[in-house]
Structure 1
């Protein structure tokens, strides 16, 4: 009698082909899989990205929906949650007064501005961030599908495959960099080879990627919900 093999994803019949009925990328070399998944990600019209990213010593918890002309969603860092919205080049940031106050870091908001006077004006409204303001460079990347995925979807070191798995009920092939120390990426074996789960190298966060190709509304907030300070956010 054929025994059942216990894998990381469940029970597999002896001699069963784990790639049967898939898109076939599970049979390819790891480097080819990475190329195909990056191509698939770049060609998709939209994606949802959620999880954590650690950069410059700060952990950001993201729940963003992204497409070619912008993105929208929430970001949490240092105990404060704020919303980002970018339509074309126009970036808006919405947070409560506590975000702008940040008394625990010496009266400086996360955007780097003295917040005592600004908090009452900015709390609860979409603040249009000037392109020349340091905050624009700091946060716009979280709303840029091309920049964000290009920076995240590269594994480091020698690439290899690490078996068949599942992610949110979807069969995947996992590829690794330097046996996992350079990051791991689960790639869909169903339909397009989209990346579904990324564990970044060096403990720099874990991200889930979903809703590939699913469009969502993206428009600027109404004028009565917006504060526009012009050239620079207030510093006092």
Structure 2
């Protein structure tokens, strides 16, 4: 019997011990022959530009989605929790400590907020009577009103997704991750400075988490394809302001 060199035995033992360690929930690279893309939709094996293309296609084909997180735009940060579909959307928006609800049914947009929101939006504290009439009511937002342009985008699924699901700069894959128990492949733009996007490796390649470029917010996507209903609020809960809305 040929003797195994002692050095080789020590190296084998060291490798075995090292491969037993776990770093941040994942086995050390090279210690396992398991294919991280086994049993997945195969998107993780594609070039990063193909991954981005396929996730945008999947998002466009979905009937509905829930979007939550933060968006920084025009010098303000908004915290969103919206459910969106082709013909409408509903949910809450928070900015500068004020929370209001948005509801869009077809082309008609409604904004619902408390009296404090309307007082602040008016720019003074002296319009308590008007603010009281709007308190807790769904206020119709005229399509030509600046508030319509400002807030309707938060309820427009196609417009919002098209504007968000693009990374900037050179694309690259950044490994396999997990979002809410779902395996993902992460792609980056310019090593992360152009944003990062986690794409589902299970089922359709939907985007699940987006970190926007330039610290412009982080968003999570869920409930892809889960339909919901939007309907006009009751007349007793609706106010037609009749002129340009006060907005902060």
Equivalent residue in structure 2 for 1:10, among 5, 26, 29:
26
Partner of residue 197, structure 2: 185
Change in CA separation of 1:115 and 1:174 when aligned onto 2, cut-off 3 Å? farther
Change in CA separation of 1:7 and 1:159 when aligned onto 2, cut-off 3 Å? farther
Q: Does 1:32 align with 2:54?
A: no
Partner of residue 111, structure 1: none
Greater Cα radius of gyration, structure 1 or 2: 2
Partner of residue 172, structure 1: 184
Give 1:115 shift: 5.0
Instruction: State the secondary structure of the residue aligned to 2:38.
Output: coil
Give 1:216 shift: 1.1
- How many residue pairs get matched? 229
Distance 1:202 1:31 in 2: 20
Deviation per CA, 1:113-157, whole angstroms, max 9, x where unpaired?
A: x95442111010000000011000000000000000000010000
Partner of residue 107, structure 1: 124
| TM-score normalised by the chain length of structure 1 | 0.91
Change in CA separation of 1:85 and 1:9 when aligned onto 2, cut-off 3 Å? farther
What 5-or-longer segments of structure 2 have no aligned partner?
1-15
- Within a 5 Å distance, the mapping from 1:1-236 to structure 2 comes to 1=16, 3-4=19-20, 6=22, 8-11=24-27, 14-102=32-120, 106-107=123-124, 116-233=128-245
RMSD between aligned residues: 2.0
Deviation per CA, 1:187-230, whole angstroms, max 9, x where unpaired?
A: 00000000000000000000000000001121110100000123
What 5-or-longer segments of structure 1 have no aligned partner?
109-113
- Bigger fraction of residues in helix: 2
